[in-house]
Amino acid sequence: MPEPIIHIEHLSRFFGTVKAVDDLSLEVPAGIVFGFLGPNGAGKTTTIHLLLGLLEPTTGQARILGFDTRTQADAIRARSGALLEFAGLYERMSAQDNLDFYGRIYQMPAPDRRARIKELLTHLELWDRRRDQVSTWSRGMKQKLAVARTLLHHPPLVFLDEPTAGFDPIAAAALREDLASLVAREGVTVFLTTHNLTEAEKLCAQVGVIRQGKLVTVGAPDELRARTGGPQAEIVGRGFTEQMLATLRERPEVAHAELHNSHLLLELRGESKMGPLVGLLVQAGAEVEEVRRGKASLEDVFLTLMEEEQR
């Protein structure tokens, strides 16, 4: 079995009494987008800093691309790309010069560098404005340029720290689309931190949830949904009573039932059929107007996990 591209064992980083990352163990296989979810201050950025060897762990260890973060940080940084909290662009320089600088840092030969810059800027529809000073660009364009810089030297692994944070929904969606298409095209492994669950849902094959420095859970979004709650159904109508709710709760296929205004919300076990449940309600005198089935969103999963952790 191939070695995971990120292998973390009991990694901790304390700042005085604050446990920014606390006993984190995690494996990320190659070729996927891994979402690292957590609220603000959960320890996502500190984790990236540790994985890039920019911070020394207090305890534990991590191997990135087979290299130890304590002793081989240079090798990790040479083989990965990073878009951290800020775009990190030189605003007085042109877009082309910004990429050229990082291409030189990663020791790309001049012809390869030029071709790659053209390829990325063209793909991101920035080529025509390559000679503009970056300070004249919009925030969305700058962030796209920063993504291009991250992928410039064909790294097998990139770290993206909340790449759409602070963007309006339209700009965030556009950047997400660009990210998804680039990542798919380049075939890189992505370690993406975010507190945007829609983003994680759209981009990530696996997610890990972190809270107060501790990893709460890890798995594919569907697995997490299954772990924290089954399929859901919503029945819209009139005449629902407590007696009906009690009857539904006794059914083996119903994990949870509750009434919100005139909406009956059910959490089901497995892929249960709705017909018998609706039949029961109608027989008991309820007037059913609409039945909707759905899955718990990643947001529901995340909120459930956060509530469980708080308890």
Partner 1 sequence: MNDIWTMMWKESKDLLFQGGWRASIRPLLLIGIMGIYLPLQFGLQWLALSPIELFVILWIPFSVIISFIGDAIAGERERHTLETLLASRISDRAILLGKVVVTVGYAWGMALGGLLLGLILVNLFRGNGGGWMFYHPFDLFLEALALSLLTCLLGASAGVLVSLRTSTVRQAQQILGIGTVVLVFGGISALQALPANFVASLTYSQFLLLVMAVIAVLDAILLGVSLVSFRRSRLILS
151-190: contacts with partner 1 (CB under 8 A) = 159
Q: Are 146 and 89 in contact (CB under 8 A)?
A: yes
Residues in binding contact with partner 1, number by CB under 8 A: 33
Could you tell me if residue 219 is left (phi over 0), alpha (psi between -120 and 50 degrees) or otherwise beta? left
Query: Looking at 90, 125, 246, 307, which residue binds partner 1 (CB under 8 A)?
Result: 90
Part in contact with partner 1 (CB under 8 A); list of ranges 91-99, 182-190, 259-267, 300-308: 91-99
User: 26, 65, 84, 141: which one contacts partner 1 (CB under 8 A)?
Assistant: 84
Beta pairing class for 6-15 and 189-194: unpaired
Near partner 1 by CB under 8 A: residue from 10, 25, 86, 258: 86
Kindly tell me which residue out of 55, 99, 160, 215 binds partner 1, with binding defined by CB under 8 A. 55
Nearest approach in angstroms of CB 152 to partner 1 is: 11
Instruction: Look at residue 138 and give its three-state secondary structure.
Output: coil
CB 77 → partner 1: shortest distance, Å?
5
The one-letter amino acid at 242? E
Residue with tokens 């500190």: 46
Interacting residues with partner 1 between 93 and 132 (CB under 8 A): 93, 97, 101-102, 104-107
Among residues 44, 47, 49, 191, which is the contact residue for partner 1, using CB under 8 A? Answer: 49
End-to-end, the C-alpha distance of the chain in Å comes to 38
Is residue 142 at the binding interface for partner 1, with CB under 8 A as the rule?
no
Q: What token pair was written down for 222?
A: 């569907």
Q: How far apart are CA 22 and CA 40, in angstroms?
A: 16
C-alpha closest to that of 20 among 214, 292, 264, 244: 214
Tell me: does residue 92 bind partner 1 (CB under 8 A).
Answer: yes
What is the crossing angle of helices 275-283 and 242-250, to 10°? 150
Location of structure tokens 């292998």: 7
Q: Which stretch binds partner 1 (CB under 8 A): 83-91, 196-204, 285-293, 298-306?
A: 83-91
Q: Which of 67, 61, 88 is nearest to 79 (CA)?
A: 67
With CB under 8 A as the contact rule, the residue among 10, 59, 71, 74 that binds partner 1 is 74
Write down the least CB distance from residue 149 to partner 1, Å.
Answer: 8
CB of 59 to partner 1, least distance (A): 15
Minimum Å gap between C-beta 126 and partner 1 is 18
> In which residue are the tokens 């097998």 written?
156
Task: Name which position in 4, 29, 31, 88 contacts partner 1 (CB under 8 A).
Answer: 88
Residue type, 285: G
* Beta carbons within 8 Å of 227's beta carbon, 6+ residues apart: 217, 219, 301
The residues that bridge with 82 in the sheet, in sequence order, are 159
Phi-psi region of 166 (alpha: psi -120 to 50; beta: other; left: phi over 0): left
Give the nearest distance from C-beta 281 to partner 1 in angstroms.
Answer: 57
Q: Give the nearest distance from C-beta 290 to partner 1 in angstroms.
A: 50
If binding is defined by CB under 8 A, does position 133 make contact with partner 1?
yes
78 near partner 1 (CB under 8 A): yes
64 near partner 1, rule: CB under 8 A: no
User: How many CB atoms within 10 Å of residue 4?
Assistant: 17
The binding site for partner 1 (CB under 8 A) comprises 49, 52-56, 73-74, 77-78, 82-93, 97, 101-102, 104-107, 133, 146, 149, 159
